[in-house]
Amino acid sequence: MQLTPSRRLVCLVVLLGCLVFLMGWFGSLAPAPEMGAYPDEAALGSNYGAWVGEKTSLTGEVVETDPLTVATGDGSGGHLRLRVTETDRRPSPGDRLAVFGVVESDRTIRAETAYVVPSSRYGYMYGVSFVAGLWVLGRLVRTWRFDRGMWSLKPRSESFAARRWIRNRTTEDRNA
């Protein structure tokens, strides 16, 4: 079956609709520790007492080191401060600490596993991601073209070169 431009557009709209629906549905699922979906900072923030004794997985910013305390969003726009015990990690204030452990009373998490992400790593991560995105976009523009008639990408017969395009434009301007 050949896809006409209108059928391609309908398929695109249906797929994007499914993507939006599935993201919303996944975000509305309740924690289910027996299935590996542990409560996070939003679940703890809304009803901390219900999760005492259960395992949790969360990430927060280190605000104190003695005792080790992390602050994270509580899912309703507020902040949740939790003390982390039984870990050998020694993060600095401002670092991000990812913790998997057991929820204890008095806003305490008994860590089973934890790792630290230094705050300096985020700039590097975003910088590398930006450069990689530009590289992919450049490769896409150089080797593919958009076919408006079929609403699809087609390989270029000749690789697009910006220098050649600029040279041709300036030649056309001089000839005009």
CB 109 within 8 A of CB 101: yes
pTM of the model: 0.58
In Å, what is the CA distance from 127 to each residue of 121, 124, 137?
Answer: 10, 5, 15
- How confident is the model over 94-124, as pLDDT tens digits? 889 999 999 998 999 999 999 998 777 778 8
What pLDDT does 29 receive? 67
What the chain holds in terms of domains, given with CATH numbers, is 34-118 (2.40.50.140), 131-175 (no CATH)
- How confident is the model over 22-43, as pLDDT tens digits? 988 876 666 666 676 788 888 8
